[in-house]
Structure formats: C-alpha cells, structure tokens
Structure 1
Amino acid sequence: MSEAAIADDGDAAPAIAEVRAAAQAGDVDAQALYAQALAEGRGVARDAAEALHWYALAANSGHAQAMNMLGRCHELGVGTAMNADLAAAWYRKAAAKGSDWGMYNIAQLLGAGRGVAQDRSQALAWYRRAAERGHAKSMNMLGRHYDEGWAVERDAAVAAEWYRRAAHAGDFRGQVSHASLLMQQGDAEAAVQWLRRAAETAPPAFLERLLDDLGHSAHAVLRGEAERLRRRCEG
C-alpha cells in the first residue's frame, strides 16, 4: 500500500488499517507510513506520541525518511520535548543515508548553530548535495549563500542560477528571489508571474510580509500587484 494510494482514497481508514497491520508485522516502510498517518491524523486519530514511537522503530531499522522525521519531532517537540541535539543527530543519520530532507535540515541547524556548532561551510556542503538531488529549498539556500557570501565568495550569476532553479522546482522563496532579479533586469511581466506563483504556496506569515514589501515598492506595477493579491486573499 503506497502513500499515494492512501492520499487518493476518499476514506483513508481502511487503507491505514492495512498499513498498521503491516507495520505491526515489522514492515519498515509501513512503520514510517503509519507514523506519518498518526502525525497527520489521516485515517486514524492524531497521536503525536504514537507517531514518534513508529518513526523511532523505522528509523532504528535504517529507514532514511523516518530518521529525518524523527529528527523533526525532536526539533519541533512533536510527541516529545524539543531537543535540538537529538534533532541534529537524527538529521545527520538521515543525510548520511541519502535523504535530501535530512541534508537540508542538518544544513539548517548548522547554519543557525542549533544543536550543533555553527558551521556555514558544512551547511553549504549539505545544501549543495541536496540541491544537486533536486531539493528545491536547498537550491534556494544555495543561492542565498552565493548571494550573501556565506562560506563562499559572492557570485551574483551563480546565485541567480540557483534562484531560477529553485523557482522552477516550486520553492516559493526561490520564486520571490527569482522575481526580484527579473525586476532588476526590467522584465516586470515575468516577475509578476513568478510572484503570483509564489503567493499560491507561501504560508500566511510569509505572504503577509511579501505583500507589505510589494506595497512599499518603488515600482508601481509591484504596488498594484500587492493590492491585487491582497484582494484575492481577502476574497
């Protein structure tokens, strides 16, 4: 039973019951999938502590994505107390097993110095590995490193290319950064299209900041776009 099959099922409960039986029988993939269902309350009552239990079982059996999610639970305090040290340890294990999300998450902690000593060079290396595997958020962060000169010499052209790739891969932050560069190049039409795409997936807090920034832009077209997007959100 795949995650996609469960997601497409109008009533997920029967599918989750099948996954639970497989998890209890020792199927590691099923354990990770059942943990996710418990964490999301999909087809079963939400239970963060029980989700943590199943993630831990799968992670300790070598399941890379379960390792990453176990790290996430420790980082955010889902089903357990927040513990950045444990989060970093599990992210490292997930990254070493090839999880692009594990690579991104350990890079995030390394960049911020949370749970580990701050090390932008190591963060850059992990972002690069994840980006080269197609991880959109890591592409954007790789662009930021070249844009800001974090652990690497500034290179506007390389930053622009990674922002472009992040935008096409669907990262809303990359889409905004790409739009900003397009505006600088005088392509307002393309910039607005990317801003609209970003607004479709950006979380509310990010979107509110974006609209505020656009509303105070020196470019009339961006001020107008901010008003249009705000009306759409309020409608």
Structure 2
Amino acid sequence: MKKAICWYERAAEQNHPAAMNSLGECYAMGRGVPRDLETAMEWYRRAAELGEAMADYNMGWHLEQAGKLSEAYAHYRKAADGNDDSAWWALGRFYENGVVVAQDGKEARCCYETGEKLGSVKCKMRLARCKLLGIGGRRAKKAGLDLCRQALELAKESSEKEDYGYEAEMNLLRRTIAENES
C-alpha cells in the first residue's frame, strides 16, 4: 500500500484529481497512512475543485456522517450532476426521507432510476423497494420482488461492496423482501 500512496502523491502533485480522491480515501480509511479525516477532506476538496465527482460524493458522505446535512446535500447534488452513481443513491435517500429537502417519493424514485442506469447496485436495491412498496409511483409487488432478487444477485459480485452504506442497503433489502414475500 505504501507504493500506491507514493504513486497517488506523485500524481496528485501533477493535479490529477482521481489520484487526489484516492489519497483522500486512503486517509479516510487509514489505508497505508494514519486515519485522518481532516487530511482526507482536504484531498477530496482539491479533487472536487478539479471536477472529480466521486470526491464530491465522498465529501458529502463524511459531512452527512458529521450531521452537516445541508453541506452534504450540496456535495451530493454536485457529484450527481457529474454522473456519480452513488451520489444519485444519496440524493434519493434524502428525498425519500425528507432530509434537508421536502419528502418526495417521486423524486427519490427518479434519483434511484438515474443511478441504476449508471450502474449503481445500491440504486437498484432502493428502486426495487420503491416498486415493491409503491414509493413515488404505482406499487408492483411481483415486479418489485423480482427486482429485489435481481439486486441481491448483482450485489454478490458488485464492486460497490466496500462503498459507504452498502451493508445497510443489503440488510434493508433483505428485510423488505422478508416482509413482503407472504
């Protein structure tokens, strides 16, 4: 991991935004460097200023965890505008639950649909719940359950497994299926 950090640092010195974001992730997780959220946020900020949508998402996640929800929403919105699929998941949750924005099931569902089209398994999981429970549109129990099962299958192989919030989404989807299969 030390070699990777060295390469990220070299690339970051050349203003490579993806490397800056990767350095931020290393500091946020304590991978190869001491865990330091302040340094992580600085790398994310620098990467986001250079247009790295994933860095805006990462900033949003850490701000959300710190209870700075309005700031988190702004970063999620910017990341979604840059087509970050995880940002669409985060925005959908904000709309579904009325966090800093008016609760709006239709908007939540739209966010999940957009993220799912970009390849987000977390969005597919949430979209499945929306269809199954009728959030933001017509309830479609069979189609919703089928989509839930598809999402669980995709989740087994997903590269999103290490993403923030992934395990919670898996548990929520399993509970939703169990409550609606009868």
For normalisation by structure 1, the TM-score amounts to 0.66
Q: Would you say how many aligned residue pairs link Structure 1 and Structure 2?
A: 169
Instruction: Tell which has more relative contact order, 1 or 2 (C-alpha 8 A, sep 6+).
Output: 2
CA drift at 1:214: 4.3
The partner residue of 1:90 within 43, 46, 62 is 43
- How far apart, CA to CA, are the structure 2 residues paired with 1:194 and 1:80? 40
Runs of 4+ in 1 over 3 A off after TM superposition: 202-208
Q: 1:160 to 1:207 in 2, by over 3 A?
A: closer
Q: Is contact 2:21-2:52 (8 Å) kept?
A: yes
CA drift at 1:218: 3.7
CA drift at 1:212: 4.2
Letter in 1 for 2:155: T
Structure 2 unaligned residues grouped into runs of 5+: none
What root-mean-square deviation, in Å, do the aligned CA atoms of Structure 1 and Structure 2 show?
2.1
Structure 1 unaligned residues grouped into runs of 5+: 1-47, 221-235
Residue 209 of structure 1 corresponds to which residue in structure 2? 171
State yes or no: 1:81 paired with 2:34.
Answer: yes
For normalisation by structure 2, the TM-score amounts to 0.83
Structure label with greater radius of gyration: 1
CA drift at 1:209: 2.3
What per-residue deviation string (whole Å, max 9, x for no partner) do you get for residues 78-104 of structure 1?
111111110111011111110011010
Residue 40 of structure 1 corresponds to which residue in structure 2? none
Residue 50 of structure 1 corresponds to which residue in structure 2? 3
CA drift at 1:205: 4.7
Calculate percent identity across the aligned residue pairs: 28
CA drift at 1:140: 0.9
- How far apart, CA to CA, are the structure 1 residues paired with 2:85 and 2:93? 13
Q: Is contact 1:171-1:198 (8 Å) kept?
A: no
